[in-house]
Every structure is written in structure tokens, then in C-alpha cells.
Amino acid sequence: MAQTSAPPLRKALKRTAPGTKVERELWAAGHSVVVGVDEVGRGAWAGPLTIGAVVIPKDRRVNKIRDSKMLTEREREALFDRITDWCDNWAVGHATARECDELGMSEAQRLAARRAIDGLGVPVDQVLVDGKWDFVGGGRTRTIVKGDASCLSIAAASILAKVTRDRIMRAEDDQFPAYDFAWNKGYPCPRHQQALRGLGPCSIHRLSWSWMDDIPWTGARRYVRPDPQGSLFTI
């Protein structure tokens, strides 16, 4: 599915290019390795939670990078190799569906972020995170609301995370065709919900989520994470 070149940029996207204002400020302050981070899959019912991490070069740019949500699947796929060839460093980290159940979503997001940043293989000075929540920590993070639309590092990370996770879910569709993962990527939709009611969950579903309470006839039960204090609670 990879493209040799990205399709022409649609007119609606031409005035929405992310910039490097924040990166340049940090570089000027002496922070050499600035990492953009973004996640995908937090709201899915199946599959991993995935985080992309990107270190962009200071002196070269790649056109057509936008927030992954603004791009079509074809556009994202076409940009993937261009971004990975252009970046100084990049990595993608995952938390599996089981880890999402056992750790809870917040801790799973921290785990996937740590795996992505560790995968860069370089000491990191600063991390730019989309949104308001610092799921990286370590006193080196700057959160940027709508950073995937305004910050080039985060936008690039959003594309790598989204394409990588989508490829995983398309491969899972070969194993579990009834759930239509190639189309819905593990997110809820009518066909996905219908398959769950008829078949129950498969091995890559997140079993701690409340939708498990709505499929009582399959024998599958909602996962309950043990409370460290000794009691049990439902996530």
C-alpha cells in the first residue's frame, strides 16, 4: 500500500501547515534533541494503544505533513516513508490490549510512550506532547493543545503512529475477519458491535471496557483489575 510520492495536497489543507516555532525556541535554548510525540488507539475497543515519537532535523523540511486526522489513509501511507527517511530519529511504541486491561489506560499510555522514546536510541532533551496531559513525565515535557495540527514534530509522530497501528489492524483482520478490523481499526461501529454480540470478544479486544457488559450471551466476562489494596474494582 506504500506510495512512491504523496498525492497533491488538497486545497482545504494548504493553509493549515504545522510549524516549527516551538522546536526552534527549544533548539535556540540549547535543547538539541526535541521529540514530538502523539498517540492513537486510546478510544478503540480492540488492538494496541500506539505512540509515535519523532526527532525532526533542524535544516530540512518535508511538505504535506499534517495532523493524521486531517489526512486520508492513502495520504498517510504515502507520507510514511518520506517522514521516516527525513527524520533524524523515529520510533513507535505500543501497549497491547492486555496491557491496557491490566494497567489501565493511563498507565498503558505511559508505557507505550516510554517504549517509543526508548526506541529512539538517543538521549532526549525535551518532549512535545499533544494535548493537556503529560503522559511522558521526567520534567522534560511541554504539552501543546492541538499540537498535532500546529507542531511539525507532533504532526509527523501522529502520522507514523496512525499508519503503524492501521497496518497492525489490517493484519489482524486476516485472523479475525468477522470484526471488520481492516475498515474500523478496532473502533466501535455497527458491524463491529454486531460481531461482538454474536461472537463475543477475540484475543485482541480490551476486555475491561464497559461494552463487555452488553454481550452477556457469549459467556465472556468483563475483566476486573485487582486493586493493589486487596479489593477488586471494575475499570
pLDDT tens column, 193-214 = 999 989 999 999 999 998 898 8
Per-residue pLDDT at 230: 55
Lowest-pLDDT range of 61-70, 156-165, 171-180: 61-70
Per-residue confidence at 228, pLDDT binned at 50, 70, 90?
low
Print burial letters for 45-81: b (CB count within 10 Å at least 16), e (below 16). Answer: bbbbbbbbbbbbeeeeebebbbbbebbeeebbbbbbe
Per-residue pLDDT at 3: 44
- pLDDT tens digits for range 153-166: 999 999 999 999 99
Per-residue pLDDT at 61: 85
pLDDT reading at 2 higher than 60: no
DSSP state of 111: H
Q: How many CB atoms lie within 10 A of CB 84?
A: 14
Per-residue pLDDT at 168: 98
Lowest-pLDDT range of 1-5, 155-159, 181-185: 1-5
Per-residue confidence at 6, pLDDT binned at 50, 70, 90?
low
**Run of H or E residues at 128:** strand 126-130
Residue labelled with grid coordinates 527524520: 87
- pLDDT tens digits for range 81-133: 999 999 999 999 999 999 999 999 999 999 999 999 999 999 999 999 999 99
Nearest-angstrom CA–CA distance, 135 and 107 = 8
Nearest-angstrom CA–CA distance, 222 and 213 = 7
Per-residue pLDDT at 176: 97
Q: Average pLDDT for residues 28-39, to the nearest whole number?
A: 97
List residues bridging with 35 in a β-sheet: 127
At 214, is the secondary structure helix, strand, or coil? helix
Per-residue pLDDT at 47: 98
Collect all residues with Cβ–Cβ distance below 8 Å to 84 and sequence separation of at least 6: 90, 160
In a 10 Å sphere around its CB, with 0-12 CB exposed, 13-18 middle and 19+ buried, how is residue 157 labelled?
A: buried
Print burial letters for 98-115: b (CB count within 10 Å at least 16), e (below 16). Answer: bbbbbbebeebbbbbbbb
- Going along the chain from its start, the domains and CATH numbers come out as 12-172 (3.30.420.10), 177-233 (no CATH)
Q: Average pLDDT for residues 1-23, to the nearest whole number?
A: 71
Lowest-pLDDT range of 11-20, 95-104, 225-234: 225-234
**Run of H or E residues at 3:** none
> Chain-wide mean pLDDT for the chain?
90
pLDDT reading at 226 higher than 90: no
pLDDT reading at 229 higher than 90: no
- The pTM score is 0.90
